[in-house]
Amino acid sequence: MKNTAVYPGSFDPPTNGHLDVIARASRLFPRLIVAVTDNQNKTPTHTLEERLLMLRGITKNIPGVSVEIFSGLLVNYLKKKNARVIIRGLRAVSDFEYEFQLALMNRKLSPSIETVFLMPDEKYVYLSSSMVNEVARLGGSVDCFVPPLVRAQVIKKCRHSNP
C-alpha cells in the first residue's frame, strides 16, 4: 500500500505558502490528497468549487497530488481514503498550540493516524489567506502572495465585493 497523506484546509484562497507545503509534502509521500473543506468558524470569500478549481489548476503539474472536497470528521475521511498521515503547515510559533491540540485530538480519535508538520519557506511565514483577501479588497497587489491563476480569481471576487 502506498503511503497516502492528506493536507486539509479551507484554502480561501490557496496561497504560495500552501503551494510550497503541497510541493514539500509531495516529495515525502507518493500520494497527496489536498482536501478542501469549509471551516465553520470562518466566512469564506470563495466557494468550495472555486477553491477546488484553483487548487486543481495550481497543482496539476505536481505528480501524485489530487484535490477533493470533503466534509465531516477528518480522521473518518482519512480512513475512507486509506490514508495514514495528516499534513499541517506551521507558519509561526503562534500556530503551534492550536495545531498541537488538533494533532492530539486526531491521535485520540484514531491512534493509527499521524500528523506531520511542515514549515513553508521562510518567505511565506507571514502569509495567510485572510490577509490576501484583505489586501485584494483594499486594492493592493497580491501578485507575490498567490499563483497567477489564483490572483485572477482573488481580484475578481474581492474587488467586486468591495465597491
Q: Are 76 and 14 in contact (CB under 8 A)?
A: no
- The C-alpha cell at 41 is 468558524
Q: Specify whether 160 is catalytic.
A: no
pLDDT at 1: 42
What residues make up the domain containing 12?
A: 4-125
Q: Are 142 and 155 in contact (CB under 8 A)?
A: yes
Q: Is the predicted pLDDT of residue 162 greater than 80, yes or no?
A: no
Q: Is the predicted pLDDT of residue 163 greater than 70, yes or no?
A: no
Q: Establish if 143 belongs to a structural domain.
A: no
Q: Establish if 161 belongs to a structural domain.
A: no
Q: Establish if 151 belongs to a structural domain.
A: no
Q: Is the predicted pLDDT of residue 73 greater than 90, yes or no?
A: yes
Structure confidence by residue, pLDDT tens digits, 91-135: 877 788 889 999 999 999 999 999 999 999 999 988 999 999 999
Q: Establish if 152 belongs to a structural domain.
A: no
Please state, in angstroms and rounded to a whole number, the distance separating the CA atoms of residues 119 and 125: 8
Q: Establish if 155 belongs to a structural domain.
A: no
Domain count for the chain, please give it: 1
Which of 26, 51, 129, 151 is the catalytic position? 129
Please state, in angstroms and rounded to a whole number, the distance separating the CA atoms of residues 85 and 32: 9
Q: Specify whether 18 is catalytic.
A: yes
pTM of the complete model beyond 0.85: yes
Please state, in angstroms and rounded to a whole number, the distance separating the CA atoms of residues 103 and 93: 15
Please state, in angstroms and rounded to a whole number, the distance separating the CA atoms of residues 27 and 30: 7
Domain of residue 92, CATH code: 3.40.50.620
